[in-house]
Structure 1
Amino acid sequence: MMGWTRRIAPVAARMMTWEVTTAFDGTLTETELQKRFDEDCRNAFGANPVDGKCAKNRVFFWPLVSFNASDGRKHRYLVSIANEPLECYRKKIDCCLPRQIALYAIADKILRGGWNGVECSKCDDMCAGHAEDCAENGNLMLVALWKSVLYILVFAKGRLCHWSEEFGYGDCIDERCRNRVKRFKSFLKTDELFASSGLFGEICICCDETWNMKTLFQLGAKDPFWNGLDLDECQSMKPCEKRRWSMCALMLLSLGLLLAMFFGRSVVMHPNKDIPAVELSSPAARDLELLAWAEGHRDLLPAKWNLGRASVAYDEMSGSRRTSRSACDSLECKLLGIVGGRVALMKTAMGETKTLSVGDSLLSYRVKEIGGNEVVLRCGRKEVRYEIESPKVSSIVTVGAR
């Protein structure tokens, strides 16, 4: 059973809380977030985290909390970037998460009343609160010193709302740490969100004395907040994920064969004409085909799966694509659904159902991108975006020449 468990690697990463204000009904796309973050915090993580080797690592914006303020809608994000190269993890690891999410697991234990407090270091009046206090209302300020980094996590009503990391501290909680926490507590009293949340329990721990940080990381990775997040998102499946899909398809196929053999023998053992023959439905077989297509085993699929997938002509000698302007007319299609974020089911105006992956063709259009609930098709300089909620085209964008 261990082979089916998702493998998650703890990696060195940097994280911080970043706030952006919009209109009361405003939202931001990831592109807009990246642009505004570059304007506000251009050097927040340093120029090149590890001697330039991690400059290509992607910056992620994970939503924390959103609330109305006096000047608009405030959105707070947990901004994160890996601080080491991630290519070495892809062959055997499903996803990468910051190793400091072990602190999230500690805070969760405190909020649930399950922290034994052995590693809790009470320094004067710095940690005046107790675990029992914050367990009642879900408000907690966790201060942690780990490998000379001072972390401050704030939970409001059981939800993570703030994460800060400051480097250059010592190996024990000293006067400098106390002064920093004192200034932060002044911020809690004036912040528009935290000031109205009530009292906060205050706990301080020294993680260098905690022996089970690896176990706490695995516990934190199972929390719904981190489930599905990955510092190493790839356009295609990772090798370990492909192997798991292949095993699932193989097991489903084996189960289908066993069921067919069982029902087949049952019919032979009961030759009574009044007993109708058992009919096996086809959806299970189609599910197997979907899995095989997403996995890339296209040589195992029926020929019908390949019909209509090569409508864009290619020059065999030069490899160049030949697409006329007139071929990029309006495309009347409906997005039926998305399987695993990688396979899109679309219905054409002629009533045909097409199963498409990134790079596949539909008439003169090519699938450029498949998201959680949308598909982007491209023909020449025209891009067409389809969404699941509506059968109509939601947007058409003309981009510059290649």
Structure 2
Amino acid sequence: MFWKKRITPVAARMMTWEVTTSFDGTLTETELRKRFDEDFRDVFNAGFADGECAVFFWPLVSFNASDGRKHRYLVAVAEEPLENYRKTFDRCLPKQIALYAIADKILRGEWDGENCLKCDEACTECDGECAELNNDCAEVADNGNLLFVALWEHCLYILVFMEGRLCHWSEEYGYGETFDDACRERVAHFKEFLKADELFAKMNDVGEFVVCCVKVGTVEESLHVKDLFQVAARDPFWCGKDLDECDSMKPCERRRWIMSAVALFVCCACVFAMCGGSLNLLYAKFFDNELFDLIVDAAPVELSQPAARDLEMLAWAEGHRDLLPAKWTLGRAGFVDGVASRSWRTSRGTCDSSEFSLLGIVGGRVALVKTSAGETKTLSVGDSLSRYRVKRIGMNDVVMRCGRKEVRYAVKTR
């Protein structure tokens, strides 16, 4: 209910206005108002003619005639200030659109004729009591063509529906409280207009329906008319129309948005205060499970392991010599807790050339050698052979180092 837009009935005048253009012509809003001012400069009241009251043009029907394209508009203008309604209501519409709801119900076969609305052309004195409709005077066609006549508050309304669509609206003041001879004469003249009109003359089987609003009173006094007004306001034809258009947001709508924002903020604050730390647990419960499932389904990441040489050097520095291969202890056995032993110092001068031959090199990283004993071995940088350690492996040679002595071996060619 808070978000439901409120619509109020206001006093207004409406009529049908026809404009003729070329067959492919169109009318801009400026040209439309200019032509309307030329035709109705002295009609209605001064405010209407001078533009003090907003005039609205709502399209009814457009069709080709003998002299061009004819456009018929429903012209509406409020007869009372609308500033007071603007603070409370979202839209203002003419109160007489309640008659549109009656006509629509008649076209749909849903009108029951209750609440002091009755159709009886023979009735010249209305006693104000509710009465049933006289079905003999209600001739409604099934094709959606309807001539609807209503007498309400000394005003005679004539609405014409063509194939279920409103195509004409007229209202004339100055009639009595009953459907008398003056009303019948006006309806008879209007029927002659229908026969001569280029659009309505094509209608066949036009239904006729006359209602006499017997002392229904004003809209404010009649709950039933209010209901009919709200029904009409929800009709697609009136949806979006407003006699009080504003360039910016109306106060009532702005207030509704502000209250909604405040209510949402208060609700979020209360939820956060009540949940406290449990909110984090709730978040973890729902989202961590999803992350866990993703981790389980995901392929394992291949981690790059440190080079074996680096691990061996780290193990040597940390003193874990029992974990190292024999090739590491071969040239370093003389070191005990970082102190060189005598045997190592005495052996530094015995770096004789190693007896082996270089057979080949694989990828510049592995050397294939053959010792004097006839054994074939593979050596990498850092590996030891006798007292020599592999310092560098090139594309065609290997550099061996023993203390400060370096010996280069090249691949033998046949």
Q: Which residue of 1 aligns with 2:17?
A: 18
User: 2:255 & 2:201 partners in 1: Cα distance?
Assistant: 50
Q: Distance in 2 between matches of 1:26 and 1:233?
A: 27
- Cα 1:60–1:276, aligned 2, differ >3 Å: closer, same or farther? farther
Residue 113 of structure 1 contacts residue 131 of structure 1 at CA under 8 Å; is this kept in 2? no
Q: Name which of 237, 254, 279 aligns with 1:225.
A: 237
The letter for the 2-side match of 1:44 is V
Q: CA deviation at 1:264?
A: 5.7
1:252–1:275 distance in 2 versus 1, CA, 3 Å:
farther
1:186-217: CA deviation from partner (whole Å, max 9, x where unpaired): 11111111111212111111124445212211
Structure 2: give runs of 5+ residues left out of the alignment. Answer: 124-133, 217-221, 296-414
Aligned equivalents of 2:92, 2:33: Cα separation in 1: 21
Tell me how far 1:133 sits from its aligned partner: 2.6
The 1:155–1:63 alpha-carbon spacing in structure 2 relative to 1, beyond 3 Å, is same
Q: Does the Cα contact within 8 Å between 1:7 and 1:95 map onto a contact in 2?
A: yes
Q: Note the C-alpha offset of 1:24.
A: 1.5
* Conservation of the 8 A alpha-carbon contact between 1:113 and 1:132: no
- 228, 253, 261: which one pairs with 1:216? 228
Q: Does structure 1 residue 197 correspond to structure 2 residue 216? A: no
Task: Please say if 1:104 is aligned against 2:100.
Answer: yes
CA–CA distance in structure 2, aligned partners of residues 84 and 74 of structure 1: 31
Question: Is the 2:119–2:138 Cα contact (8 Å) retained in structure 1?
Answer: no
Give the equivalent residue in structure 1 for 2:185: 179
The match for 1:156 is 162
Distance 1:255 1:128, change over 3 A: same
1:21-60 deviation per Cα after TM superposition (whole angstroms, max 9, x unaligned): 11122111111111001111223322246xx9x9622000
SS at match of 2:111: coil
Runs (4+) of structure 1 exceeding 6 A deviation are 251-259
Give the secondary structure class of the aligned counterpart of 1:164: strand
Quote the Cα distance in structure 1 between the aligned partners of 2:189 and 2:135: 15
Deviations 1:114-156 (A, max 9, x none): 111342322159x99865633x111111111111111101111
Match among 107, 110, 115 for residue 114 of structure 1: 110
* 1:129–1:203 Cα contact (<8 Å) kept: no
**AA matched with 1:159:** R
Secondary structure of 1:31's aligned partner: helix
Which position in structure 2 is the counterpart of 1:393? Answer: none
Going from structure 1 to structure 2, the CA distance change for 1:263 and 1:229 (only over 3 Å counts) comes to: farther
TM-score by length of 1: 0.61
Cα contact 2:18–2:71 (8 A) shared by 1: yes
Secondary structure of the residue aligned to 1:192 is coil
Contact 1:97 1:229 (C-alpha < 8 Å) held by counterparts: yes
Give the counterpart letter for 2:285 in structure 1: M
- SS for the counterpart of 1:28 is coil
Instruction: Quote the residue 1:29 is aligned against.
Output: 28
Instruction: Give me the whole-angstrom Cα distance separating, in 2, the residues matched to 1:32 and 1:86.
Output: 26
Letter in 2 for 1:47: A
From the CA coordinates, give the structure whose radius of gyration is larger.
2
SS at match of 1:101: helix
CA contact (8 A) 1:14 1:45 kept: no
Q: Which moved more, 1:262-271 or 1:204-213?
A: 262-271
| C-alpha contact 1:130 1:201 (8 A) present in aligned 2 | no
Pick aligned residue for 1:170 from 176, 181, 184:
176
CA distance in 1, matches of 2:170, 2:135: 20
Partner Cα distance (1:205, 1:36) in 2:
35
> Which residue, 285, 290, 293 being the options, matches 1:269?
285
SS for the counterpart of 1:36 is: helix
Q: Give, in whole Å, the separation in 2 of the partners of 1:116 and 1:224.
A: 23
Whether the 8 Å CA contact 2:120–2:137 is kept in 1: the answer is: no
Q: Which residue of 2 aligns with 1:61?
A: 57
The one-letter code matched in structure 2 to 1:203 is F
Q: Residues 127-138 of structure 1: matches in 2 within 5 Å?
A: 131=138, 133-134=140-141, 136-138=142-144
| C-alpha distance after superposition, 1:59-92 (max 9, x if no partner) | 0000011111111111100001000111111111
TM-score normalised by L of structure 2: 0.60
Deviation at 1:275? 3.6
Match of 2:152 among 135, 146, 150: 146
CA contact (8 A) 1:90 1:238 kept: yes
- Tell me the amino acid that sits aligned with residue 193 of structure 1: L
Which aligned pairs between 1:2-401 and structure 2 lie closer than 5 A? Answer: 3-48=2-47, 56-118=52-114, 119-123=117-121, 131=138, 133-134=140-141, 136-210=142-216, 212-249=224-261, 265-269=281-285, 271-272=288-289, 273-275=291-293
Q: Is the 8 A contact 2:87 2:250 kept in 1?
A: yes
C-alpha contact (below 8 Å) 1:9/1:96 kept by paired residues: yes
Equivalent-residue separation in structure 2 for 1:64 and 1:70 (angstroms): 19
- The separation in 1 between residues aligned to 2:294 and 2:43, in whole angstroms, is 71
Asked if structure 1 preserves the Cα contact closer than 8 Å seen for 2:140 and 2:209, the reply is no
AA at the equivalent of 1:19 = E
| 8 Å contact from structure 1 (residues 148, 169) kept in 2 | yes
Inter-partner Cα distance in structure 2 for 1:8 and 1:55: 24
Amino acid at match of 1:274: F
Q: What is the aligned residue count? A: 271
Quickly say closer, same or farther: Cα 1:58–1:276, change in 2 above 3 A: farther
